[in-house]
Amino acid sequence: MATDITEWIPRIAPAVSQCPNQVIKEAIVNTCRNFCQQTQLWDNNALTAIDVEDGTADYDLTSALGDISGIDAAELDGTPISPTTVEELDRLNTLWRQTVTKRSSWYVFGMADSIKLVYEPDDDITGGLEVWVSLKPLKTATSVQDFLYRDYEKAIEFGAKGELMLIPGMPWSNLELGGYFTSKYEGARDTAKLKKFTGRTNKIMSAQHNAPFFA
């Protein structure tokens, strides 16, 4: 289910007199996108399974629901593969780009919504790559996931107000209040961000990153 972004307008418009509704809508969407990017709470969205091709390590990732902000999990031929970084790979094995393997064990998430399998696969696997991602609303979104309004209504309100008031030279500009609302938003966002790392419980969890092992 989704909530129309206009639900926020009555809460924001009185604080930014003369601001067009379209500009308010853009600020709401921007705030929702930032919130989802930073918290990664719109998570575990399964993408369509991808065919793996012999000799191809890079694959584009797309979702009709929103823009991809991160990878939550990935499996190759039913086996989980682990995240790593180009920097870590370069540190441990400078020849990793030239290495091929029957089954890749790691992946790198690219900024251009792509995933790189490490090492390069040398086998075709139909529908072999499965990926679960975190999303953020499209820039053109007219509605957003219900949880953003149900659980974080005030946070999004604060963020949109802050963004609008910090626009210079407008009738509704107010740098002092804009800074105040931005600070309130960032605090609420950072508190929500902890939920990603506590498994949405009250217990702080610890996570260990297993770097790729090179023989």
- In the structure, what pLDDT confidence band is assigned to residue 208 with cuts at 50, 70 and 90? very low
What residues does 45 pair with on adjacent strands? Answer: 133
Residues 167 and 4: their CA atoms lie apart, in Å, by: 24
- Report whether 56 contacts 63 (CB < 8 A): no
Packing angle of the helix pair 175-198, 146-165 (nearest 10 deg): 150
Domain ranges of the chain: 2-41+138-198, 45-136
Query: 100: pLDDT confidence band, cut at 50, 70 and 90?
Result: confident
- Residue 111 has a pLDDT of 74
